[in-house]
Protein backbone atom coordinates (compact mmCIF):
# COMPACT_ATOMS: atom_id res chain seq x y z
CA UNK A 1 0.00 0.00 0.00
CA UNK A 2 1.44 3.40 -1.00
CA UNK A 3 1.72 6.17 1.56
CA UNK A 4 -1.04 8.07 -0.25
CA UNK A 5 -3.41 5.13 0.16
CA UNK A 6 -2.35 4.70 3.78
CA UNK A 7 -3.12 8.35 4.41
CA UNK A 8 -6.52 8.03 2.74
CA UNK A 9 -7.25 4.91 4.80
CA UNK A 10 -6.27 6.76 7.98
CA UNK A 11 -8.57 9.69 7.12
CA UNK A 12 -11.44 7.29 6.43
CA UNK A 13 -10.98 5.63 9.83
CA UNK A 14 -10.70 8.93 11.70
CA UNK A 15 -13.71 10.65 10.16
CA UNK A 16 -16.22 7.82 9.73
CA UNK A 17 -17.90 6.50 12.84
CA UNK A 18 -17.70 2.72 12.64
CA UNK A 19 -17.37 0.94 15.96
CA UNK A 20 -15.22 -1.93 14.70
CA UNK A 21 -13.14 -0.18 12.05
CA UNK A 22 -9.47 0.31 12.95
CA UNK A 23 -6.19 0.86 11.12
CA UNK A 24 -3.27 -1.22 12.38
CA UNK A 25 -0.37 1.22 12.69
CA UNK A 26 2.17 -1.58 13.23
CA UNK A 27 1.22 -3.20 9.92
CA UNK A 28 0.93 0.01 7.90
CA UNK A 29 4.01 1.65 9.41
CA UNK A 30 6.42 -1.10 10.58
CA UNK A 31 8.93 1.50 11.81
CA UNK A 32 6.54 2.34 14.65
CA UNK A 33 6.55 -1.27 15.83
CA UNK A 34 10.34 -1.38 15.58
CA UNK A 35 10.48 1.70 17.81
CA UNK A 36 8.58 -0.14 20.55
CA UNK A 37 10.56 -3.36 20.11
CA UNK A 38 13.86 -1.56 20.67
CA UNK A 39 13.55 -0.70 24.34
CA UNK A 40 16.59 1.57 24.15
CA UNK A 41 14.40 4.06 22.25
CA UNK A 42 12.09 4.43 25.22
CA UNK A 43 15.09 4.65 27.53
CA UNK A 44 16.53 7.53 25.51
CA UNK A 45 13.26 9.46 25.54
CA UNK A 46 12.81 8.84 29.27
CA UNK A 47 16.37 9.91 29.96
CA UNK A 48 15.80 13.13 28.03
CA UNK A 49 12.67 13.74 30.10
CA UNK A 50 14.53 13.02 33.35
CA UNK A 51 17.24 15.52 32.42
CA UNK A 52 14.71 18.17 31.38
CA UNK A 53 12.72 17.86 34.60
CA UNK A 54 15.86 17.88 36.71
CA UNK A 55 16.89 21.14 35.04
CA UNK A 56 13.41 22.65 35.57
CA UNK A 57 13.41 21.69 39.25
CA UNK A 58 16.96 22.93 39.85
CA UNK A 59 16.28 26.26 38.11
CA UNK A 60 13.07 26.62 40.13
CA UNK A 61 14.81 25.97 43.43
CA UNK A 62 18.06 27.83 42.90
CA UNK A 63 17.46 30.19 39.98
CA UNK A 64 16.12 33.77 40.09
CA UNK A 65 12.70 33.97 41.72
CA UNK A 66 11.42 36.77 39.48
CA UNK A 67 9.01 35.33 36.93
CA UNK A 68 10.51 37.28 34.03
CA UNK A 69 14.02 35.98 34.80
CA UNK A 70 13.39 32.25 35.17
CA UNK A 71 12.66 30.16 32.09
CA UNK A 72 11.63 27.15 34.19
CA UNK A 73 8.12 28.60 34.59
CA UNK A 74 7.43 28.66 30.87
CA UNK A 75 9.05 25.25 30.38
CA UNK A 76 6.79 23.74 33.07
CA UNK A 77 3.49 25.57 32.63
CA UNK A 78 3.76 26.65 28.99
CA UNK A 79 5.51 23.87 27.11
CA UNK A 80 5.12 20.79 29.34
CA UNK A 81 1.53 21.25 30.50
CA UNK A 82 0.26 22.38 27.09
CA UNK A 83 1.99 19.56 25.22
CA UNK A 84 0.65 17.00 27.71
CA UNK A 85 -2.92 18.25 27.18
CA UNK A 86 -2.46 18.20 23.39
CA UNK A 87 -1.10 14.65 23.57
CA UNK A 88 -4.36 13.43 25.15
CA UNK A 89 -6.22 13.82 21.89
CA UNK A 90 -3.65 12.03 19.76
CA UNK A 91 -1.59 9.55 21.79
CA UNK A 92 -3.75 8.76 24.80
CA UNK A 93 -1.64 7.91 27.85
CA UNK A 94 1.63 7.65 25.91
CA UNK A 95 2.92 10.56 28.01
CA UNK A 96 2.47 8.36 31.09
CA UNK A 97 4.69 5.73 29.47
CA UNK A 98 7.46 8.33 29.23
CA UNK A 99 6.77 10.15 32.51
CA UNK A 100 9.93 10.87 34.57
CA UNK A 101 8.18 10.84 37.96
CA UNK A 102 8.31 7.03 38.56
CA UNK A 103 12.02 6.93 37.63
CA UNK A 104 13.51 6.85 41.13
CA UNK A 105 10.93 4.25 42.22
CA UNK A 106 11.91 2.02 39.29
CA UNK A 107 15.57 2.44 40.22
CA UNK A 108 14.85 1.42 43.84
CA UNK A 109 13.05 -1.67 42.59
CA UNK A 110 15.94 -2.64 40.32
CA UNK A 111 18.34 -2.24 43.27
CA UNK A 112 16.16 -4.46 45.47
CA UNK A 113 15.33 -1.56 47.79
CA UNK A 114 11.55 -1.90 47.45
CA UNK A 115 9.23 -4.01 49.59
CA UNK A 116 7.68 -5.09 46.26
CA UNK A 117 4.23 -5.61 47.78
CA UNK A 118 0.97 -6.03 45.94
CA UNK A 119 -1.12 -2.82 46.07
CA UNK A 120 -3.40 -2.98 49.08
CA UNK A 121 -7.21 -3.19 48.71
CA UNK A 122 -7.48 0.29 50.26
CA UNK A 123 -5.22 1.75 47.57
CA UNK A 124 -7.27 0.06 44.85
CA UNK A 125 -10.62 1.07 46.33
CA UNK A 126 -9.94 4.65 47.34
CA UNK A 127 -7.21 5.55 44.85
CA UNK A 128 -9.61 7.46 42.60
CA UNK A 129 -10.82 9.56 45.54
CA UNK A 130 -7.26 10.37 46.59
CA UNK A 131 -6.20 11.22 43.04
CA UNK A 132 -9.13 13.65 42.61
CA UNK A 133 -8.22 15.28 45.94
CA UNK A 134 -4.58 15.57 44.86
CA UNK A 135 -5.58 17.08 41.52
CA UNK A 136 -7.77 19.54 43.41
CA UNK A 137 -4.72 20.43 45.52
CA UNK A 138 -2.67 21.07 42.36
CA UNK A 139 -5.35 23.28 40.81
CA UNK A 140 -5.89 25.11 44.11
CA UNK A 141 -2.17 25.72 44.59
CA UNK A 142 -1.70 26.83 40.99
CA UNK A 143 -4.53 29.35 41.21
CA UNK A 144 -4.29 30.63 44.79
CA UNK A 145 -0.51 30.94 45.09
CA UNK A 146 -0.05 32.20 41.52
CA UNK A 147 2.38 29.35 41.06
CA UNK A 148 2.90 30.14 37.39
CA UNK A 149 4.81 33.19 38.62
CA UNK A 150 6.65 31.40 41.45
CA UNK A 151 9.66 29.30 40.33
CA UNK A 152 10.32 27.69 43.70
CA UNK A 153 6.65 26.81 44.17
CA UNK A 154 6.58 25.14 40.76
CA UNK A 155 9.71 23.15 41.62
CA UNK A 156 8.23 22.07 44.96
CA UNK A 157 5.04 20.95 43.23
CA UNK A 158 7.04 18.78 40.82
CA UNK A 159 9.09 17.41 43.72
CA UNK A 160 5.91 16.50 45.63
CA UNK A 161 4.64 14.46 42.67
CA UNK A 162 8.06 12.84 42.38
CA UNK A 163 7.98 12.04 46.11
CA UNK A 164 4.57 10.36 45.83
CA UNK A 165 5.70 8.17 42.93
CA UNK A 166 8.96 7.31 44.71
CA UNK A 167 7.33 6.38 48.03
CA UNK A 168 4.83 4.07 46.36
CA UNK A 169 7.61 2.61 44.20
CA UNK A 170 9.53 1.78 47.40
CA UNK A 171 6.47 0.03 48.89
CA UNK A 172 4.64 -1.62 46.00
CA UNK A 173 5.79 -3.45 42.90
CA UNK A 174 5.46 -1.84 39.50
CA UNK A 175 4.00 1.63 39.24
CA UNK A 176 1.19 1.64 41.79
CA UNK A 177 1.31 5.43 41.89
CA UNK A 178 0.57 5.60 38.16
CA UNK A 179 -2.24 3.03 38.27
CA UNK A 180 -4.08 4.15 41.39
CA UNK A 181 -3.08 7.55 42.81
CA UNK A 182 -1.43 9.85 40.29
CA UNK A 183 -3.73 12.87 39.78
CA UNK A 184 -2.30 13.59 36.35
CA UNK A 185 -2.60 9.92 35.36
CA UNK A 186 -6.31 9.84 36.18
CA UNK A 187 -6.94 12.99 34.19
CA UNK A 188 -4.93 11.71 31.23
CA UNK A 189 -6.61 8.29 31.43
CA UNK A 190 -10.05 9.86 31.25
CA UNK A 191 -8.94 12.07 28.35
CA UNK A 192 -7.44 9.07 26.58
CA UNK A 193 -10.97 7.79 25.93
CA UNK A 194 -11.10 10.35 23.08
CA UNK A 195 -7.64 9.57 21.75
CA UNK A 196 -7.12 8.72 18.10
CA UNK A 197 -4.89 5.80 19.09
CA UNK A 198 -5.43 2.67 21.17
CA UNK A 199 -3.18 -0.22 22.17
CA UNK A 200 -5.12 -3.47 22.06
CA UNK A 201 -4.27 -7.18 21.87
CA UNK A 202 -5.38 -9.71 19.32
CA UNK A 203 -7.65 -11.57 21.73
CA UNK A 204 -7.60 -14.71 19.57
CA UNK A 205 -3.83 -14.96 20.05
CA UNK A 206 -4.11 -14.21 23.76
CA UNK A 207 -6.52 -17.11 24.32
CA UNK A 208 -3.80 -19.64 23.55
CA UNK A 209 -1.18 -17.92 25.75
CA UNK A 210 0.10 -19.91 28.74
CA UNK A 211 2.96 -17.69 29.90
CA UNK A 212 1.37 -14.21 30.25
CA UNK A 213 4.80 -12.63 29.93
CA UNK A 214 3.20 -9.31 28.99
CA UNK A 215 1.98 -9.06 32.58
CA UNK A 216 4.60 -11.08 34.50
CA UNK A 217 7.75 -10.25 32.52
CA UNK A 218 10.54 -12.63 31.55
CA UNK A 219 14.33 -13.07 31.78
CA UNK A 220 14.77 -10.13 34.11
CA UNK A 221 12.57 -7.83 32.00
CA UNK A 222 9.67 -6.59 34.16
CA UNK A 223 6.10 -7.03 32.98
CA UNK A 224 3.33 -4.47 32.67
CA UNK A 225 4.08 -1.64 35.14
CA UNK A 226 0.38 -1.17 35.97
CA UNK A 227 -0.48 -4.89 36.33
CA UNK A 228 -2.60 -5.17 33.18
CA UNK A 229 -0.82 -7.14 30.51
CA UNK A 230 -2.02 -6.80 26.95
CA UNK A 231 -4.74 -9.45 27.36
CA UNK A 232 -6.45 -7.31 30.04
CA UNK A 233 -6.62 -4.06 28.08
CA UNK A 234 -10.22 -3.11 27.35
CA UNK A 235 -9.95 0.70 27.25
CA UNK A 236 -7.47 3.56 27.35
CA UNK A 237 -8.06 4.55 30.98
CA UNK A 238 -5.27 2.55 32.64
CA UNK A 239 -2.93 1.42 29.84
CA UNK A 240 0.21 3.60 29.75
CA UNK A 241 0.87 2.74 26.08
CA UNK A 242 4.50 2.22 27.10
CA UNK A 243 4.77 -0.69 24.64
CA UNK A 244 6.40 -3.06 27.10
CA UNK A 245 3.90 -5.77 26.17
CA UNK A 246 4.89 -5.35 22.50
CA UNK A 247 8.45 -6.29 23.45
CA UNK A 248 7.48 -9.13 25.81
CA UNK A 249 4.77 -10.89 23.80
CA UNK A 250 6.02 -13.87 21.77
CA UNK A 251 2.71 -14.15 19.89
CA UNK A 252 2.81 -10.67 18.33
CA UNK A 253 -0.57 -9.90 19.90
CA UNK A 254 -0.43 -6.19 20.89
CA UNK A 255 -1.49 -3.81 18.13
CA UNK A 256 -1.32 -0.01 17.98
CA UNK A 257 -4.46 1.03 16.14
CA UNK A 258 -5.91 4.23 14.70
CA UNK A 259 -9.61 4.77 15.31
CA UNK A 260 -12.40 7.31 15.25
CA UNK A 261 -11.80 9.28 18.48
CA UNK A 262 -15.44 8.98 19.61
CA UNK A 263 -15.67 5.18 19.48
CA UNK A 264 -14.46 4.36 22.99
CA UNK A 265 -16.23 7.34 24.49
CA UNK A 266 -19.56 6.16 23.12
CA UNK A 267 -18.98 2.49 23.93
CA UNK A 268 -18.02 3.27 27.54
CA UNK A 269 -21.06 5.53 28.07
CA UNK A 270 -19.58 6.99 31.25
CA UNK A 271 -19.89 3.77 33.22
CA UNK A 272 -16.40 3.97 34.76
CA UNK A 273 -16.12 5.65 38.14
CA UNK A 274 -12.90 7.39 37.08
CA UNK A 275 -14.77 9.41 34.44
CA UNK A 276 -17.72 10.09 36.74
CA UNK A 277 -15.46 11.76 39.29
CA UNK A 278 -12.85 13.39 37.05
CA UNK A 279 -15.09 15.07 34.47
CA UNK A 280 -17.33 17.08 36.87
CA UNK A 281 -14.33 18.18 38.90
CA UNK A 282 -12.22 19.16 35.89
CA UNK A 283 -15.05 21.23 34.39
CA UNK A 284 -15.89 22.80 37.74
CA UNK A 285 -12.25 23.75 38.25
CA UNK A 286 -12.13 25.36 34.79
CA UNK A 287 -15.13 27.55 35.54
CA UNK A 288 -13.50 28.53 38.84
CA UNK A 289 -10.22 29.38 37.11
CA UNK A 290 -11.91 31.40 34.36
CA UNK A 291 -14.18 33.15 36.88
CA UNK A 292 -11.18 34.14 38.99
CA UNK A 293 -10.62 37.06 36.66
CA UNK A 294 -14.12 38.54 36.57
CA UNK A 295 -15.29 41.66 38.41
CA UNK A 296 -17.81 39.73 40.50
CA UNK A 297 -15.02 37.43 41.73
CA UNK A 298 -13.41 40.50 43.28
CA UNK A 299 -16.67 41.22 45.11
CA UNK A 300 -16.85 37.61 46.30
CA UNK A 301 -13.27 37.82 47.50
CA UNK A 302 -14.04 41.01 49.40
CA UNK A 303 -17.08 39.39 51.03
CA UNK A 304 -14.84 36.54 52.25
CA UNK A 305 -12.46 38.78 54.21
CA UNK A 306 -10.38 39.61 51.12
CA UNK A 307 -9.24 35.98 50.97
CA UNK A 308 -8.41 34.72 47.49
CA UNK A 309 -7.97 31.23 48.96
CA UNK A 310 -11.48 31.21 50.46
CA UNK A 311 -13.12 32.63 47.34
CA UNK A 312 -11.44 30.19 44.97
CA UNK A 313 -12.07 27.23 47.31
CA UNK A 314 -15.77 28.11 47.38
CA UNK A 315 -15.94 28.34 43.59
CA UNK A 316 -14.05 25.07 43.23
CA UNK A 317 -16.56 23.24 45.45
CA UNK A 318 -19.56 24.92 43.81
CA UNK A 319 -18.23 24.19 40.33
CA UNK A 320 -17.78 20.50 41.14
CA UNK A 321 -21.26 20.32 42.69
CA UNK A 322 -22.77 22.13 39.70
CA UNK A 323 -21.44 19.65 37.15
CA UNK A 324 -22.36 16.68 39.32
CA UNK A 325 -25.87 18.12 39.25
CA UNK A 326 -25.68 18.61 35.46
CA UNK A 327 -24.51 15.01 35.12
CA UNK A 328 -27.45 13.71 37.16
CA UNK A 329 -29.97 16.03 35.49
CA UNK A 330 -28.75 14.91 32.08
CA UNK A 331 -29.22 11.27 33.06
CA UNK A 332 -32.81 11.98 34.13
CA UNK A 333 -33.58 13.82 30.90
CA UNK A 334 -31.92 11.09 28.84
CA UNK A 335 -34.25 8.62 30.53
CA UNK A 336 -32.04 5.53 30.12
CA UNK A 337 -29.29 4.78 32.65
CA UNK A 338 -29.01 0.99 32.53
CA UNK A 339 -28.19 -1.51 29.82
CA UNK A 340 -28.69 -5.29 30.09
CA UNK A 341 -25.24 -6.00 28.65
CA UNK A 342 -23.05 -3.82 30.90
CA UNK A 343 -25.27 -2.45 33.68
CA UNK A 344 -25.62 1.15 34.87
CA UNK A 345 -24.03 4.00 32.99
CA UNK A 346 -23.95 7.80 32.99
CA UNK A 347 -25.12 9.00 29.56
CA UNK A 348 -24.11 12.64 29.91
CA UNK A 349 -20.46 11.91 30.78
CA UNK A 350 -19.55 11.08 27.13
CA UNK A 351 -21.20 14.36 26.12
CA UNK A 352 -19.21 16.35 28.69
CA UNK A 353 -15.81 14.72 28.08
CA UNK A 354 -14.99 16.77 24.93
CA UNK A 355 -16.00 19.93 26.82
CA UNK A 356 -13.74 19.05 29.73
CA UNK A 357 -10.64 18.57 27.65
CA UNK A 358 -11.10 21.37 25.16
CA UNK A 359 -11.73 23.61 28.18
CA UNK A 360 -8.44 22.52 29.73
CA UNK A 361 -6.65 23.01 26.42
CA UNK A 362 -8.02 26.55 26.13
CA UNK A 363 -6.79 27.39 29.64
CA UNK A 364 -3.29 26.05 28.94
CA UNK A 365 -3.07 27.54 25.44
CA UNK A 366 -3.91 30.97 26.80
CA UNK A 367 -0.83 30.87 29.06
CA UNK A 368 1.34 29.39 26.30
CA UNK A 369 0.38 31.93 23.62
CA UNK A 370 0.49 34.86 26.05
CA UNK A 371 4.04 34.06 27.16
CA UNK A 372 5.78 32.40 24.22
CA UNK A 373 6.93 35.75 22.84
CA UNK A 374 8.94 36.41 26.00
CA UNK A 375 10.51 32.94 26.20
CA UNK A 376 13.84 33.78 24.53
CA UNK A 377 14.24 37.16 26.31
CA UNK A 378 13.50 35.44 29.66
CA UNK A 379 16.20 32.90 28.95
CA UNK A 380 18.57 35.75 28.17
CA UNK A 381 17.76 37.63 31.38
CA UNK A 382 18.32 34.50 33.46
CA UNK A 383 21.80 33.94 32.04
CA UNK A 384 22.87 37.53 31.52
CA UNK A 385 22.48 37.61 27.74
CA UNK A 386 20.67 40.46 25.99
CA UNK A 387 18.04 38.77 23.84
CA UNK A 388 15.32 41.43 24.11
CA UNK A 389 15.26 41.83 20.35
CA UNK A 390 13.59 38.42 20.07
CA UNK A 391 10.50 39.55 22.01
CA UNK A 392 7.13 39.47 20.27
CA UNK A 393 3.54 39.53 21.46
CA UNK A 394 0.75 37.28 20.22
CA UNK A 395 -2.31 39.54 19.69
CA UNK A 396 -5.00 39.15 22.33
CA UNK A 397 -7.83 38.84 19.76
CA UNK A 398 -5.98 35.94 18.12
CA UNK A 399 -5.68 34.13 21.48
CA UNK A 400 -9.36 34.79 22.19
CA UNK A 401 -10.61 33.42 18.88
CA UNK A 402 -8.34 30.38 19.10
CA UNK A 403 -9.97 29.72 22.48
CA UNK A 404 -13.49 30.20 21.15
CA UNK A 405 -12.76 27.92 18.18
CA UNK A 406 -11.43 25.24 20.54
CA UNK A 407 -14.47 25.52 22.81
CA UNK A 408 -16.71 25.30 19.72
CA UNK A 409 -15.02 22.03 18.75
CA UNK A 410 -15.80 20.72 22.24
CA UNK A 411 -19.46 21.75 21.96
CA UNK A 412 -19.85 20.28 18.47
CA UNK A 413 -18.22 17.05 19.65
CA UNK A 414 -20.62 16.82 22.59
CA UNK A 415 -23.54 17.34 20.21
CA UNK A 416 -22.11 14.69 17.89
CA UNK A 417 -22.03 12.16 20.73
CA UNK A 418 -25.71 12.92 21.40
CA UNK A 419 -26.42 12.43 17.70
CA UNK A 420 -24.76 8.99 17.70
CA UNK A 421 -26.70 8.00 20.80
CA UNK A 422 -29.97 9.10 19.22
CA UNK A 423 -29.37 7.68 15.74
CA UNK A 424 -27.57 4.42 16.61
CA UNK A 425 -27.15 3.17 20.16
CA UNK A 426 -30.58 4.27 21.41
CA UNK A 427 -32.38 4.74 18.12
CA UNK A 428 -36.09 5.34 18.62
CA UNK A 429 -35.92 5.27 22.43
CA UNK A 430 -35.10 8.92 23.22
CA UNK A 431 -38.08 11.25 23.02
CA UNK A 432 -37.51 14.14 20.64
CA UNK A 433 -38.09 16.82 23.29
CA UNK A 434 -35.61 15.10 25.60
CA UNK A 435 -33.07 14.93 22.79
CA UNK A 436 -33.39 18.65 22.04
CA UNK A 437 -33.29 19.51 25.74
CA UNK A 438 -29.95 17.73 26.03
CA UNK A 439 -28.65 19.73 23.08
CA UNK A 440 -29.85 22.88 24.84
CA UNK A 441 -27.73 21.91 27.85
CA UNK A 442 -24.72 21.60 25.54
CA UNK A 443 -25.39 25.07 24.10
CA UNK A 444 -25.80 26.62 27.56
CA UNK A 445 -22.55 25.08 28.81
CA UNK A 446 -20.77 26.42 25.73
CA UNK A 447 -22.25 29.87 26.34
CA UNK A 448 -21.15 29.81 29.98
CA UNK A 449 -17.62 28.80 29.05
CA UNK A 450 -17.45 31.47 26.33
CA UNK A 451 -18.60 34.29 28.63
CA UNK A 452 -16.15 33.37 31.36
CA UNK A 453 -13.31 32.85 28.89
CA UNK A 454 -13.98 36.26 27.36
CA UNK A 455 -13.51 37.87 30.80
CA UNK A 456 -10.46 35.71 31.46
CA UNK A 457 -8.80 36.54 28.13
CA UNK A 458 -9.03 40.29 28.72
CA UNK A 459 -6.11 40.09 31.17
Residues 6+ apart with CB under 8 A from 169: 102, 104, 105, 106, 108, 109, 114, 175, 176, 177
Instruction: Provide the pLDDT confidence category of residue 26 given band limits of 50, 70 and 90.
Output: very high
Q: HSE-up of 29 (CA within 13 Å, CB side)?
A: 15
pLDDT of residue 9: 87
Exposed (0-12), middle (13-18) or buried (19+): which is 232, by Cβ within 10 Å? middle
Q: Over 90: is that where the pLDDT of 326 sits? A: yes
Q: Where are the beta strands (DSSP E) in 201-293?
A: 217-218, 221-222, 255-258
Lowest mean pLDDT among 273-277, 334-338, 411-415: 273-277
- CA dist 42 and 444 (Å) reads 44
* Closest residue by Cα to residue 319 from 334, 300, 333: 300
Q: Tell me what the mean pLDDT of segment 308-329 comes to.
A: 95
- CA dist 134 and 77 (Å) reads 18
* Closest residue by Cα to residue 345 from 291, 287, 266, 407: 266
Q: Over 80: is that where the pLDDT of 459 sits? A: no
Kindly state the helix (H) or strand (E) to which residue 338 belongs, with its residue range.
strand 338-339
pLDDT of residue 371: 97
Lowest mean pLDDT among 9-23, 101-115, 311-325: 9-23
Q: Is the pLDDT higher at 50 or at 295?
A: 50
Query: Phi and psi (nearest 5°) for 117?
Result: -85, 160
Could you tell me if 364 and 85 are in contact, meaning their C-beta atoms sit under 8 angstroms apart? yes
Q: 252: alpha, beta or left, given left = phi > 0 and alpha = psi -120 to 50?
A: left
pLDDT of residue 98: 87
Q: Tell me what the mean pLDDT of segment 147-151 comes to.
A: 95
The CA–CA distances, whole Å, from 285 to 79, 288, 330 equal 21, 5, 20
Q: Residues 239-261, buried b or exposed e (16+ Cβ, 10 A)? A: bbbbbbbbbbbebebbbbbbbbb
Q: Tell me what the mean pLDDT of segment 312-325 comes to.
A: 95
* Closest residue by Cα to residue 243 from 391, 450, 98, 456: 98
Instruction: Provide the pLDDT confidence category of residue 220 given band limits of 50, 70 and 90.
Output: confident
- CA dist 296 and 281 (Å) reads 22
Q: What is the pTM of this model?
A: 0.93
Helix then strand count (H, E) for the chain reads: 23, 7
pLDDT of residue 39: 87
pLDDT of residue 275: 84
For 86, other C-beta atoms within 10 Å of its C-beta total 15
**In percent, how much of the chain has pLDDT > 70?**
100
pLDDT of residue 105: 95
Q: Is the pLDDT higher at 458 or at 312?
A: 312
Choose from 13-27, 80-94, 363-377 the range with maximum mean pLDDT: 363-377
Q: Over 80: is that where the pLDDT of 176 sits? A: yes
Residues 6+ apart with CB under 8 A from 211: 218, 250
Q: Over 80: is that where the pLDDT of 341 sits? A: no
Could you tell me if 289 and 143 are in contact, meaning their C-beta atoms sit under 8 angstroms apart? yes
pLDDT of residue 3: 75
pLDDT of residue 202: 93
Exposed (0-12), middle (13-18) or buried (19+): which is 343, by Cβ within 10 Å? exposed
pLDDT of residue 1: 58
Q: Over 80: is that where the pLDDT of 300 sits? A: yes
Q: Tell me what the mean pLDDT of segment 190-216 comes to.
A: 93
- Look over the chain and give the mean of its residue pLDDT values, rounded to a whole number: 93
Lowest mean pLDDT among 155-164, 291-300, 367-376, 404-413: 291-300
C-alpha dihedral sign at 228, 232, 237, 239: positive
pLDDT tens by residue, 96-144 = 988 999 999 999 999 999 999 999 999 999 999 999 899 999 999 999 9
**In percent, how much of the chain has pLDDT > 90?**
80
Q: Tell me what the mean pLDDT of segment 365-386 comes to.
A: 97
* Closest residue by Cα to residue 283 from 458, 437, 448, 88: 448
Amino acid sequence: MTYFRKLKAAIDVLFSYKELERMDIFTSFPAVRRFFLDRSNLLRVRSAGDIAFTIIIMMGLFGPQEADRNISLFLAWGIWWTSVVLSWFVMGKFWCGLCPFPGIGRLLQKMGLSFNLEPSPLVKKYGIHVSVFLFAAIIWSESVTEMKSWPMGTALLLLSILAGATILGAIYKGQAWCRHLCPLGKIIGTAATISMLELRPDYNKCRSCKTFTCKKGMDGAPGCPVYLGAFNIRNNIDCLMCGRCVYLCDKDSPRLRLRNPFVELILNKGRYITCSYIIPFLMGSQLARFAQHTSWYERLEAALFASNAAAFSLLLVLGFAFFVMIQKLGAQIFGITEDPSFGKFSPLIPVLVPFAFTGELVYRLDYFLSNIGDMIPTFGRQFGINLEGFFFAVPKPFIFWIGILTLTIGAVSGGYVLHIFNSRDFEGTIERKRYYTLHLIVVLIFAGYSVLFEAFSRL
